[in-house]
A = this chain, B = another copy of it.
C-alpha cells in the first residue's frame, strides 16, 4: 500500500482515536531542604482526577488544533507552572501502546533554567494571578512513581542531559550570566550525580577555551572567587535548519 492509498483509506475511527499531547521537562539546579549538595530538580504537577489521580506528572496538556507543537509546549507549561523559558527544545515523541488508558502520543519538550530565572518567573506569575497549585519541585534522580510513563521520560531526559554536558556548553543553561568555577563544577556534579576533583576540573575548563574570565569576584564567607562567563561566540543549542529567528526582546541568548 502506498502512502497515498494509506492517506485516503485508513479507517477514520482508528485514526481519530489517537490524540496528541505535549509535556515538558524543566531542569534546574537546587538544594532540597537539609541537603548539602545541589541536585537537578524538575517541577511536577499533582493529578487530581483519573487517570492516575494522586500521582505526580510532567506539566503539559493537549495539543490544540490551531497551534504548533512548540507553541503548545510553551502554553501548557505556562498554564500549569507559570514558567516561561525563552527556549524549549523538542526531546522525543512517546507513543507506546498502553502508556495511557486512551491512545495518546506525547511530544515531549525540555529546557534548562538557571535557579535565579526560575525564582523570578515563579514570583512574577504569583504576583500576576493565583500561584499555580499542586506544583512541586522534585530531585530528578529520586522520584516517586509518576503517572503514565513519565518516569521513563524523565530518565531519558536525564540521560540526554548527561550526554550533552560532555560535548557542549549545555551546563550554561543552569547558570547565571557570570559564575565561579566552583559553581560551574557544582552544575556538572549535579548532572553527573558524582563528585569531581576541583584541580582536574579547573585544568579541563581552562583548556577548553569556552570560558572568559571577568575582572569581578564573588565575595562572601569564603575567599573571593573570580567570576567567569561563557564565550558568546558559540551558540548554546544549535538546532540547524529548525533554529527560530532570535527574539530581540530576550535579554539573554539561550
Contacts and interface: CB of A to CB of B under 8 A. Distances in A.
A220 B160 CA distance: 45
Q: Is the interface of A mostly helix, strand, loop or mixed?
A: mixed
A17 B241 CA distance: 28
B1 A79 contact: yes
Using C-beta atoms within 8 Å of the partner chain, give the interface range for chain A.
35 or more
A20 B105 contact: yes
Interface in A37-94: 45, 47-49, 57, 59-69, 76, 79-80, 90, 92-94
Contact of A242 (B95, B132, B156): B156
Given A93-B90, A134-B2, A65 B14 contact: yes
Given A2-B133, A105-B105, 14 more contacts: A1-B61, A2-B134, A3-B47, A3-B61, A4-B49, A6-B79, A7-B49, A17-B65, A20-B105, A68-B96, A69-B105, A155-B241, A156-B242, A167-B167
10 contacts: A2-B48, A6-B79, A7-B49, A16-B16, A20-B95, A68-B97, A69-B95, A155-B241, A156-B241, A167-B167
Interface of A: 1-4, 6-8, 10, 14-20, 45, 47-49, 57, 59-69, 76, 79-80, 90, 92-97, 103, 105, 107, 132-134, 152, 155-156, 159-160, 163, 167, 238, 240-242
Q: What are the nearest 8 A-B pairs in CB distance?
A: A159-B240, A6-B61, A69-B95, A14-B65, A10-B62, A17-B65, A93-B93, A4-B49
